[in-house]
Chain A
Amino acid sequence: MELGLLALGAGLAVGLTAIGTGYAQARIGSAGIGAIAEKPEVAGRVILLVAIPETMIILGFAVAAMIILLLGGG
């Protein structure tokens, strides 16, 4: 039972942050493509901006890994 709750917690840590990242990237991405259509030279900066929210899911992954490794006994 406890292991199941840990797995659920780890899943939520990744899943919820993935939703957050996806939402942010969708908004930034659509605006970014619009910007690239107007000014192709901003492509690099748009990649950078789209990539910024990924930190959320990476931190979610870090939390999930900690739940499994530290609490789940490896």
Chain B
Amino acid sequence: MIVPMAKVQIIGHLRCLDETLQQLYQLRLVHIIEHGPQAGAALRTATLGAERLKEQETLRYLRARLEAVLQLLPPRAGPAQPAEPPTVFSAEEIEALRAEIETITPRLEALVQQMDALRQEQATLPRYAQSIQRLLPLVPTLAQPQRFETVALLLNRRHARVLELLSEDLTALMGQRFVITSAPVDGDTLGAVLVFPRRYSAQVHALLGRERVSEVRLPPSLADMPLSRALATIEQRLHQIPAELAAAEAELDALTAPHRERWAAASRYIADRLNQLNAVRLLGATEHTFVLVGWVPRQEVPRLQALLAERVGPAVVCHELPLSEEDRSQAPVLLQNPPPARPYEFLVRLLSLPRYGTIDPTLLMSLFLPLFFGITLGDVAYGLALIGIALLLRRRLGGSSATWRDLSHVLLMGGAWSVVFGFVYGELLGNLGHQLGMHPLWLNREEALQPLLLFSVAIGVGHVTLGLLLGVWVAWRERHRHALLEKVGLLVALMGLFLMAAQVIGRLPRGFFTPGLAALVVGLVLLIRSMGALGLLMAPLEVLSTVGNMLSYLRIAAIGLSSVYLARVANEMVGALGPLWLGVLVAVFFHALNVALGAFSPTIHSLRLHYVEFFGKFYQEGGRPYEPFGAASP
């Protein structure tokens, strides 16, 4: 159901504003609405005074700094501080916090940067070491190493010819004053080392760049060393890094540990306080008072009044305002249903919230949706499989996601009804039940096609008629004369049409045709009256489309039958495919496919029957969600 709302006005002295906002924020009960300008009243829109503006500015700055600092910190490994951090911060504490953050941040940033650099070094150095180890055997021992430069290259073995071309170019550049040696270093890679006089350095590097031969580049700190020394340096460095990293981490922890909990608490406090300050512009004010108007669930009004009186005192009063028609149309919507129906609220919200004062269809949906699911699928084994899947989903994903929990509940109920209707149709893995001697409690779907179709149309007639009756009730409550005439006219016309049809096919004794025709005419006249000039054309179409809506429930039979036939095909595979094991394997595959389709298809079609055929008759969407003023997660 849609929770009845009350519009309340809270008036108080301006000096109680902060305390009132803080209490309301904690209570999370009032959906504050903007205080529009009121003709004739001395009220203006409330503004933040100079003092609060300054506070807002400080808090915004501090929030940004705190968020940046908290993001820098690695996740905490040790246990949290035993002492409870404060939840409210005074102006002095905020100032102290600001100073503290500004003092600590530079050192903190330096430490984090240092740790990042160390980790990067730790990740990249082993790769250099690996390349050098492969190339080292190729490097010739030189008499005067300072006069020569060594360049290492790694090539794909398929491009080995590049080395010959390179040799030709190098000979053209410096004659025979260079050495190039190469050897395979692993399956795909060819290592090459080029040694040449240092004075040709610029020309050689330019040549390599031009020919797009990539060199093994060492970090700047190792670039000028011979390869063997570079390797030793890398190994030494890799040995040192863990200790440096641990030291930096320890310093970071020592620096931040005493403040961490308090900073997180301050961040939460600042977010809350900023929300409270932002709410001020929604309020009205005079010179000495503030006026807050909002929506509260009606049953909570006494609690709100009592709590404000107790915590803020007599300088603030809260009273309920009388509701005008316009007010009612703007009230926010909060859905409240008994626990078994609650998972279906998600499916109603998927469409859109109902408008305040109309009908919340959640409860009806919780009854009909799983029932339609069960009537469609109707198989003991498939039902049990779906119950199993639903329970597994709930255990695996239900804890973390409300949507999965709701969906698994819907599937569970659908599975349970499928088991019930499995007994009604006598089905277990399709026709296997019949072969094993299971008897249908009511009808065998494969043989009794006509009763099955009639049954599903009868469900449609019942469901759509219920929708129309609810439409009549909503129109009556909303005092909407046209809608009332339309729904009543439609009901009367349909009744007439059914009387005539029943007479024609001989299900009713003679004498019902004329009253039926009269009812159809009266219904059509009412419909035309409600629609105006266009009604002459639209009224018969409306009756026909409603009949179409009722026939649409034939899908319950159609989808059910397709599932039965797929199961039958699966069962006939056993024995038809040569070896028994192959037949059983294919049969298991088909049954698994049928269960997967059985979880999906009846849900979508039951949903559609609700959204289009049922809701279309009474549901009025466009409700605004109830969003109480308070922290997002209480």
Contact check: which of A43, A45, A47, A58 meets B551 at CB < 8 Å? A58
Chain A residues, Cβ within 8 Å of B608: 47-48, 51, 54
Q: Determine whether A8 belongs to the interface, using a CB cutoff of 8 Å to chain B.
A: no
Q: Please name the residue on chain B nearest to A55 by beta carbon.
A: B552
Contact in complex: A47, B554 (CB < 8 Å): no
B352 touches A44 (CB 8 A): yes
Q: Mark A36-71, 1 if CB is under 8 A from B, else 0.
A: 000000011101100110110011011001001100
CB of A4 within 8 Å of the partner chain: no
Q: How many residues on B have C-beta within 8 angstroms of the other chain's C-beta atoms?
A: 19
Asked whether any CB of chain A lies closer than 8 Å to the CB of B449, the reply is yes
B450 within 8 A of A: yes
How many angstroms between the C-alpha atoms of A68 and B450 in the bound complex?
10
Q: B604–A61 contact, CB under 8 A?
A: no
| Residues A74 and B551 in contact in the complex (CB < 8 Å), given A44-B350, A51-B604 | no
* CB within 8 Å for A58 and B612 given contacts A45-B352, A47-B604: no
Q: Could you say which residues of chain A place their CB within 8 Å of the CB of B558?
A: 58, 61
Give Cα A44–Cα B449 distance, bound, in whole angstroms.
33
- CB-based contact B604/A62 at 8 Å: no
Measured between beta carbons, the chain A residues less than 8 angstroms from B548 are 55, 59
Specify which chain A residues have a CB less than 8 angstroms from the CB of B611 in the assembled complex.
44, 47-48, 51
For the complex, is B206 an interface residue (Cβ under 8 Å from A)? no
Q: Is the pair A65, B350 in contact by a Cβ cutoff of 8 Å? A: no
Separation of A55 and B613 alpha carbons in the complex (Å) = 11
**Interface assignment of B555: CB less than 8 Å from any CB of chain A:** yes
Chief secondary structure at chain A's binding surface: helix
**Nearest CB in chain B: distance from A20 CB, A:** 15
Contact A58 B552 (CB under 8 A): yes
Interface status of B538 (Cβ within 8 A of chain A): no
**Distance between Cα atoms of A62 and B558 in the complex (Å):** 9
Q: Residue A61 contacts which of B349, B351, B554, B612 (CB distance < 8 angstroms)?
A: B554
Q: B518: CB under 8 A from chain A?
A: no
The distance from the CB of A5 to the nearest CB of chain B, in whole angstroms, is: 20
Chain B at the A interface: SS class: helix
With a CB–CB cut-off of 8 A, which chain B residues contact A59?
548, 551
Contact residues in B for A43 (Cβ distance below 8 Å): 350
Q: Quick check: is B163 within 8 A (CB to CB) of the other chain?
A: no
Q: Distance (Å) between the CB of A23 and the closest chain B CB?
A: 18
Interface band, chain A: 10 to 19
**Binary interface profile of B, 551-587, with partner A (CB < 8 Å = 1, else 0)?**
1101100100000000000000000000000000000
Question: Measured between C-beta atoms, what is the minimum distance from B363 to chain A in Å?
Answer: 18
Least Cβ–Cβ distance between A18 and chain B, in angstroms: 11
- Residues on the A chain within 8 Å of B607, using CB: 47, 51
Q: How far is the CA of A68 from the CA of B561 in the complex (A)?
A: 15
Complex Cα–Cα for A72 and B608 (A)? 32
Q: A16 CB to closest chain B CB, in angstroms?
A: 16
For residues 604 through 628 of chain B, which have their beta carbon under 8 Å from a beta carbon of chain A? 604-605, 607-608, 611-612
- 1/0 per residue, CB under 8 A from A, across B422-453: the answer is 00000000000000000000000000011001
Contact (Cβ within 8 A) A69 B552? no
Q: Is the CB of B551 within 8 A of A52?
A: no
Residues in B with CB closer than 8 Å to A61 are 554-555, 558
Task: Choose from A45, A58, A69 the contact partner of B449 (Cβ within 8 Å).
Answer: A69
B349, closest chain A residue (CB):
A44
B462 to chain A, nearest CB (A): 18
- Whether the Cβ atoms of A65 and B449 lie closer than 8 Å is yes
Which B residues, 587 to 614, have Cβ-Cβ distances below 8 Å to chain A?
Answer: 604-605, 607-608, 611-612
Which residues on A sit within 8 Å (CB–CB) of B555? 54, 58, 61
Across the interface, do A74 and B450 meet the contact criterion of CB distance under 8 Å? yes
Q: Which of the residues A44, A52, A62, A69 comes within 8 Å of B351, measured between beta carbons?
A: A44
Assess the B612–A52 pair: CB atoms within 8 A: yes
Q: Please, how many angstroms separate the alpha-carbon atoms of A50 and B608 in the complex?
A: 9
Q: Which chain B residue shows the least CB distance to A46?
A: B350
Contacts of A65 in B (CB 8 A): 449, 453, 554
Contact in complex: B551, A62 (CB < 8 Å):
yes
CB distance from B450 to the nearest CB of A (A): 5
* A45 with B554, Cβ < 8 A, contacts A51-B612, A59-B548, A69-B450 known: no
How far, in whole Å, are A51 and B326 apart by their CA atoms in the complex?
35
The reply to whether B351 and A45 form a contact with Cβ atoms under 8 Å apart is yes
Complex formed: what's the CA distance from A65 to B455 in Å? 14
Docked CA distance A19–B554 (Å): 19
A47 CB contacts on chain B under 8 angstroms? 350, 604, 607-608, 611
Residues of chain B within 8 A of A62, CB atoms compared: 453, 551, 554
User: Which residue of the partner chain A has the closest CB to B347?
Assistant: A44
For residue A66, which residue of chain B has the nearest CB? Answer: B453
How long is the Cα–Cα vector from A58 to B376 in the complex, in angstroms?
14
B615 (CB) vs chain A CBs: closest residue: A48
CA distance A42 to B450 in the complex (A): 39
Task: Give complex CA distance A17, B608 in Å.
Answer: 19
If the complex has contacts A58-B554, A59-B548, A62-B551, are A48 and B449 also in contact, measured as CB distance less than 8 A? no
- Which A residues touch B612, using CB under 8 A? 48, 51-52
Q: Which residues of B contact A54 (CB under 8 A)?
A: 552, 555, 605, 608
Q: Inside 8 A of A48's CB, which chain B residues have their CB?
A: 351, 608, 611-612
Distance of A63 from chain B, by nearest CB (Å) = 10
In the assembled complex, which residues on chain A have CB atoms less than 8 Å from the CB atom of B604?
47, 51
Q: How far is the CA of A47 from the CA of B608 in the complex (A)?
A: 8
Residue of A54, A68, A69 with highest tally of chain B CB at under 10 A: A54
**Which residues of chain B from 309 to 367 have a CB within 8 Å of any chain A CB?**
349-352
| Closest-CB distance, A51 to chain B (whole angstroms) | 4
Closest 7 CB pairs of A and B: A44-B350, A51-B608, A44-B351, A48-B611, A61-B558, A58-B555, A58-B554
Taking A54-B605, A65-B554, A74-B450 as known contacts, 10 extra A-B pairs with beta carbons closer than 8 A to each other, sorted by chain A number, are: A44-B350, A44-B351, A44-B611, A48-B608, A51-B612, A52-B612, A55-B548, A58-B552, A61-B558, A62-B453
Identify 16 residue pairs between A and B in the complex whose beta-carbon atoms are under 8 Å apart, listed by A's number: A43-B350, A44-B349, A44-B350, A44-B351, A45-B351, A48-B611, A48-B612, A51-B607, A51-B611, A54-B555, A58-B555, A59-B548, A61-B555, A62-B551, A62-B554, A74-B450
Binding site for A on B (CB under 8 A): 349-352, 449-450, 453, 548, 551-552, 554-555, 558, 604-605, 607-608, 611-612
Interface of A with B (CB < 8 Å)?
A: 43-45, 47-48, 51-52, 54-55, 58-59, 61-62, 65, 68-69, 74
